[in-house]
Amino acid sequence: MALKNILIHPDPRLKKVADPVASVTDDLRRLADDMLETMYDAPGIGLAAPQVAVMNRMIVMDCEKDEDATPDPMVLINPRVLWTSEDRNVYDEGCLSIPEQYAEVERPAEVEVEWMDLTGKTRRERFDGLWATCVQHEIDHLDGRLFIDYLKPLRRQMITRKMQKLKREMARA
């Protein structure tokens, strides 16, 4: 396994729609392992392939935040939302591609998602709470959407300017 570099906003690849995965291969399984390692190392609870410059529709996530809890890593290939609840939740969201920036985002409280797992089997599950927020956030990445796209323009511009400054500082270092 290897840590991957996480793209930092603004990067044009983060605004592109990712391509569907045709089949599960050993390379894809290795990528999933690398993405999980990268996500845990960051640390984060979710990561989409476009965030590591791979334009495929694959996400990884693990929303078990309790230190005593057993990790529950998930790999979702070609995930799609089939149903959303009318009830809404607001979470203070962050993103590994927009480090140290957080904002409240309102999303459906529950979602039903269908995806392919690493064996090629189709799976379907209903998510709620933090899991629902995370899966929606990561699927947004596959569609070229960031959590800041839900914010008012002025706040979004402010965060983008901070990220541009961070990228300049990182380039100098």
Please list the active-site residues: 138
With a CB cutoff of 8 Å and minimum separation 6, the contacts of 73 are 36, 60, 61, 62
Using an 8 Å Cβ cutoff, are 144 and 10 in contact? no
Q: What is the DSSP string of 118-168?
A: TTS-EEEEEEEHHHHHHHHHHHHHHTT--GGGGS-HHHHHHHHHHHHHHHH
Q: Which has the closest alpha carbon to 65: 85, 27, 39? A: 39
